Each structure stands twice: as C-alpha cells, then as structure tokens.
C-alpha cells in the first residue's frame, strides 16, 4: 500500500513539473507586446513646449502594465467613466504610434454619454537621444 501511494505521489509530482516546464511564459502572446512602441525615455510636448519627461519600462517580469483598452489601426484607446460632480464623465485616452517615432497622446472627455467630446490634453512624446526605443 505504501509503495502504491509513493508511486502515485511521484507520478503526480512528475506530471506537475512537466506541465510547468511546457507552459509558455506570462505575456508571451503577441497581444501582450502591442504597447511596446512606448517603452523608452521620452520628452513630452504640448502646445509647442516641453511639458515633461517620462520613462516607460517593463516591470513584473516583462508584463510591465495592466491596461484595459483596445489596439486598432496603430492606436491604443482606453476609456472609463467617473463621477464629475452630479454628472458622469467619460474619459477617453488615445495613444498613437507615429511613423516618425513619436507617440501622440490625446485625452478627451464627454459629459453627455459620448455625444460630444472636449479635448483636455493633446501632446506627443518624443524619444530622448540615445534612448533605446523598442519599435
């Protein structure tokens, strides 16, 4: 009986180890890399002036960020509702991977359920010289 239990235990452990070895690493799907164009060091521009600097890097074993949005036509679009006084506002932020290596960020707000939008930020991120962008 003990020999039988030991054999079953060994088989369970061996099966578990084999399954772990064949499992793909986290975030190895192509969809997990759709925002890689933004990895690097950036100078942020708005209204013709430098308004800040950002460093975007991978964290947590390369998974770096948890984003809920959609990626289509070279853009990542994220939106969420929030309380705005006695109203509900919808924020929509769009990042666009531009052919010249910059990233445009546009932030629009709607207070009427998406019937009209007001832009509250429209700027672009320019890679700093020597920054290893990952396009």
Kindly give the confidence (pLDDT) of every residue in the chain, 135 residues in length, as a single tens digit, with 9 standing for 90 and above. Answer: 555 544 545 655 555 555 556 777 777 777 777 777 777 777 777 778 887 676 677 766 665 453 445 566 778 788 888 888 888 899 999 988 888 888 899 999 999 989 999 999 999 888 888 766 554
Q: Are 76 and 69 in contact (CB under 8 A)?
A: yes
Pairwise CA distance, residues 41 & 113, whole Å: 35
Pick from 107, 106, 97, 121: which is nearest to 40 by CA?
97
Q: Is 100 left (phi over 0), alpha (psi -120 to 50) or beta?
A: alpha
Backbone angles phi, psi at 8, to 5 degrees: -65, -45
Q: What is the pLDDT of residue 118?
A: 97
The angle formed by the CA atoms of residues 25, 31 and 35, to the nearest 5 degrees, is: 105
* Tokens read off for 58: 């991978």
């Amino acid at each position: 009986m003990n020999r039988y239990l030991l054999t079953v235990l060994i088989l369970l452990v061996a099966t578990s180890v084999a399954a772990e070895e064949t499992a793909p690493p986290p975030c190895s799907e192509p969809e997990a890399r759709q925002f890689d164009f933004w990895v690097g060091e950036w100078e942020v521009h708005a209204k013709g002036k430098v308004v800040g600097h950002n460093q975007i890097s991978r964290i947590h074993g390369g998974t770096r960020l948890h984003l809920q949005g959609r990626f289509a036509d070279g853009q990542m679009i994220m939106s969420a509702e929030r309380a705005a006084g006695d109203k509900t506002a919808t924020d929509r932020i769009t990042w666009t991977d531009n052919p010249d290596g910059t990233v445009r960020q546009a932030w629009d707000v709607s207070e009427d359920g998406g019937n009209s939008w007001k832009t509250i930020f429209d700027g672009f991120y320019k890679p700093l010289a020597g920054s290893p962008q990952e396009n």
